[in-house]
Chains A and B, each alone.
Chain A
């Protein structure tokens, strides 16, 4: 009972944040609703950027990897955290600056407006195909998050799965729909703090229950030598294959629109460096500590059969309920659900942002600001409902759905954006090629061809398509800067 009360208070506090921003006057403006008028400080920006990436992955799938493969995951952790340094130092400043010049509010909007400003007729095609791409991958992603909410509430609170996915869907739709980007950022900030707390508290409790660090290290090394080895006991070919799969998975961080929109919204290019340090702390935490949770849970519980549904991905949830008093378990459970909801709300906003731009472009160019905000809120509710439906039917495992959506976004959106920012010969046709081939190759590779090696091949196929089309269609792009523009502007 106490556990449910604590968790209920957490959900209500999220909705309260949404209601607070709903009553702020400025929230009637779409840009305020969608990217907080580019006025987000480094702390909420960094916390929300990483929290929006955490998803059900961190405390379910990543803990499961720790439970089954152990500290092998440090390879992937290093690639991911190092990639964030590159994203913050090289992509973020240029993206932020260009985004303000173009007045773009999402990745798709950016790709389209960039070529629209240069008079390309392909800009509308980019917006349409980009919108479809986002719709396909983010809806699947939202569905995966709601599945995770259902599992979390089912295992942690004993709530029926169907009820849990409906409650989770309604909560996230309410606070995102009411408060928009501001609510998303500030709830992500709160959720990020809870996640960090959980990431440190849970391994401490697990190791204390095992008998302290010495006992844990001794038992892990002797009873589970593969778990504490960087090679996970795999042969060379398997190791290289697995590293290639994990590596191509990690690189997809370059194309997550719900995460990169934080770069568009940050208050100034001058605070990106500071935000990077904060983001590195949270990122290193979320990439290393869940592995420790997984390994220590394996030592404590010994086998997956001891976990709900005999699923290693449920280790963290089970340990929370098993090891902590009810009131604290409720708070920690909120930390797990936080990782999920913070991703979902960001995705919902992104989807509606691109849908609103499509509405303006093709249906009602003269729509009032108020009408667009109302429409945004209706869309948030609709997509959340669709996510609940996906969660109800569970078309695949959590890992499969997230892998598909994450890589799909990275390939189809990330590659065109990176090339647009850093390669002068990138053309509008090249962006379209990236979107089409990225979307198509991802689906074909995931479901039909070389599925065991997914997502290794979707990257080179898409890169070759983009480069080929650009070389055929383009001369050198004219580099334009609005008169008087400075990096700070």
Chain B
């Protein structure tokens, strides 16, 4: 079903793949906010610093 669906005039899967790539920017931003608030800017795993 999804394979035949269209989004913005293009195949929906293709548009979703494009959005998936850009969603990584959002992932990076959320991780950055967590690092800032819970780990003083250091890279962390959801606020927890391994070393």
Residues of A that sit less than 8 Å from B by CB:
71, 74-75, 77-78, 81-82, 85, 88-90, 92-93, 213-214, 216-218, 220-221, 228-230, 269-274, 276-277, 280-281, 284, 287-288, 487
Contacts and interface: CB of A to CB of B under 8 A. Distances in A.
A274 B41 CA distance: 8
Contact of A78 (B21, B28, B29): B21
Nearest to A81: B24
B42 A229 contact: no
Q: Range of interface residues on chain B? A: 20 to 34
Given A78-B21, A213-B8, A274-B41, A280 B14 contact: no
Nearest to B24: A81
Interface in B1-51: 6, 8-11, 13-14, 17-18, 20-22, 24-25, 27-29, 31-32, 35-36, 40-43, 49, 51
10 contacts: A74-B17, A74-B18, A78-B21, A81-B21, A216-B9, A230-B13, A270-B41, A273-B31, A273-B43, A288-B22
Interface of B: 6, 8-11, 13-14, 17-18, 20-22, 24-25, 27-29, 31-32, 35-36, 40-43, 49, 51
SS class, residues of chain B in contact with chain A: helix
Given A217-B10, A277-B32, A487-B51, A269 B24 contact: no
B43 A277 contact: no
A271 B20 CA distance: 25
A272 B18 contact: no
Nearest to B51: A487
Given A217-B9, A281-B25, 19 more contacts: A74-B18, A74-B20, A74-B21, A78-B21, A85-B27, A216-B9, A221-B11, A229-B11, A229-B14, A269-B43, A270-B42, A272-B43, A273-B43, A277-B25, A277-B29, A287-B21, A288-B22, A487-B42, A487-B49
B15 to A, nearest CB: 9
Given A228-B14, A273-B31, A85 B24 contact: yes
A200 to B, nearest CB: 13
A88 B20 CA distance: 19
A288 B32 contact: no
A221 B28 contact: no
A276 B32 contact: yes
A281 B25 CA distance: 6
B21 to A, nearest CB: 5
B22 A284 contact: yes
Nearest to A481: B51
A230 B25 contact: no
Contacts of A228: 10-11, 14
Given A228-B14, A273-B35, A284-B24, A93 B41 contact: no
